[in-house]
Amino acid sequence: MPSFDVSLKPDMVKVRNGVENAIKEVSTRFDFKGTSASLELKEKEKEIHLIGDSDFQIDQLNDVLVGKLVKQGVTVNFLTKGEKLEKMGGDKLRRTDKIKDGIESELAKKITGAIKNSKLKVQASIQGDEVRVTGKNRDDLQLAIAFLRKEFAEQPLTMDNFRD
């Protein structure tokens, strides 16, 4: 039976390149000279730490980071902004942004529910942090892919592992 997987996986190489480009720009910008403004990428934890002297400076760092990630082709929807600013030693503040990796259970339930309500001749099942969609023929799966891209346009979903 033909099937494909719906997942939510960022290209970490592009994310790393975007963060490194943002670090280079922060080190050369005049308005960040003499401040504690910096960015750190924690790849294992899938986090980006923005460190600055004030919340305004962290917002500026965020703008630089988003610009560099967009230039690398990374969808900004992969980032989940940190809710609160943590106080570090002295007058430093840190905000931790998380990088989405894998479909959360709520989104997976929405995807399977949308597929069931769409009256397409396919079935969806949750497989850990992915959703597997199966159907009787390729055409039904291609219709399901088009449906998911239209219905969940705000989410950077990837359709992979297409099997015939």
156 vs 10: CA distance, rounded Å: 9
Report the domain count for the chain.
2
Alpha helices in the chain (DSSP H): 12-28, 55-72, 105-117, 138-151
| Three-class DSSP category at 151 | helix
pLDDT reading at 128 higher than 80: yes
pLDDT reading at 164 higher than 80: no
**64 pLDDT band (50/70/90 cuts)?**
very high
Domain identity same for 93 and 116: no
12 vs 72: CA distance, rounded Å: 11
Which structural domain range is residue 141 located in?
Answer: 3-8+102-163
Q: What is the mean pLDDT of the chain?
A: 89
Q: CA angle, corner 150, sides to 62 and 135, nearest 5?
A: 125
Domain identity same for 89 and 22: yes
pLDDT reading at 8 higher than 80: yes
Residues 6 or more apart whose Cβ sits within 8 Å of residue 157: 6, 7, 8, 148, 149
pTM for the whole structure:
0.80
**16 pLDDT band (50/70/90 cuts)?**
very high
pLDDT reading at 113 higher than 80: yes
Domain identity same for 94 and 106: no
pLDDT reading at 139 higher than 80: yes
The share of the chain scoring above pLDDT 70, in percent, equals 100
The share of the chain scoring above pLDDT 90, in percent, equals 42
* Domain of residue 107, CATH code: 3.30.70.860
